Amino acid sequence: MKTVSRVYDTHADARAAVSALEEAGVPSKDISLVANKCVSAELDEVDEVEKFPDAATGIGFGTALGGGAGLLAGLGILTIPGLGPVVAAGWLASMAVGAMAGAAAGGVVGALVDAGLSKEHADVYSEAVRRGCTLVSARVAGREGAKIQAILDRFEPIDPAQRGSDYHREGWTCFDPKAPAYRPSEAEIERIRRAGPA
C-alpha cells in the first residue's frame, strides 16, 4: 500500500477531494481527513472534547459538517497535542490517537511519517492543520498512486516546500506537539470555511 497525502487551505476543497476519491473507487476506510475544529460553525460551541471512540465511524458530527455517505458522514472530534481540537475521520486519526495514547511520540507527525511522508513535510502538514488547513490522506495500491495524486492535486493543495519556507520566515522551526492550540482569527475562519457550507 502507498499513502498519498495533501493539505488544503479550505475545508471545502478538502471535502471535494474526499468525494472525488470515493467516486474514483477508493474505499472510505482507506481515506482520512483531519481538520481544525473551526472548519464548522456547528462546532464553535463544542467546548468539551470527547474521546474519539472509533476513528472509522467517528462520533456523529457528519451531519453538522455537511457529510453524506462515506467518510464525511463519520467525522468526529478529538484533541491531538499541538493541534488542539480537530475534526477527523479515518485510519490516520486512529494512528495519531494510538501514538498519542501509547509510548510512541508524534501524534499526526508520527502517523504521517509512519505512512511514508518525509519528516519535513509531515511537520509542515501538521502545522498547516494546526493553523486551520485540512489534511486528506488515502491508502492505495502502489500502482494507483499516480492516479490518486492526480485526483488530489485537482483541488489546489498547498505546496509543502513553499508553505514550510513561509513558516520558517516567521521564525517557525518545526511542528511542536506541546504548542498551545491555535485559534484562527475571524478572517482566517472565513478563509477556512470558504466556498462551502459550514
Predicted confidence pLDDT, tens digits, the chain (198 residues): 899 999 999 888 998 999 999 999 999 889 999 888 777 655 555 443 443 333 333 333 333 344 445 666 667 777 776 677 778 788 776 666 554 444 344 577 888 888 889 999 999 999 999 888 999 999 999 899 999 999 999 999 999 999 999 999 999 999 988 877 777 777 777 777 665 443
Residue 42: name the closest of 67, 18, 61 by CA. Answer: 61
Q: Which domain holds residue 81?
A: 2-193
Instruction: Yes or no: say if 115 and 137 are a contact pair by the CB < 8 Å rule.
Output: yes
pTM score above 0.75:
yes
Residue 88 CA to residue 59 CA, distance in Å, equals: 10
Residues 92-122 pLDDT 10s: 766 665 544 443 445 778 888 888 899 999 9
Exposed/middle/buried for 110, CB within 10 Å: 0-12, 13-18, 19+?
Answer: buried
* Residue 198 lies inside a defined structural domain of this protein: no
Domain count, the chain: 1
Residue 132: name the closest of 52, 40, 42 by CA. Answer: 40
For residue 149, give the H/E element and its range: helix 145-153
| Residue 7: all three cell numbers together | 493539505
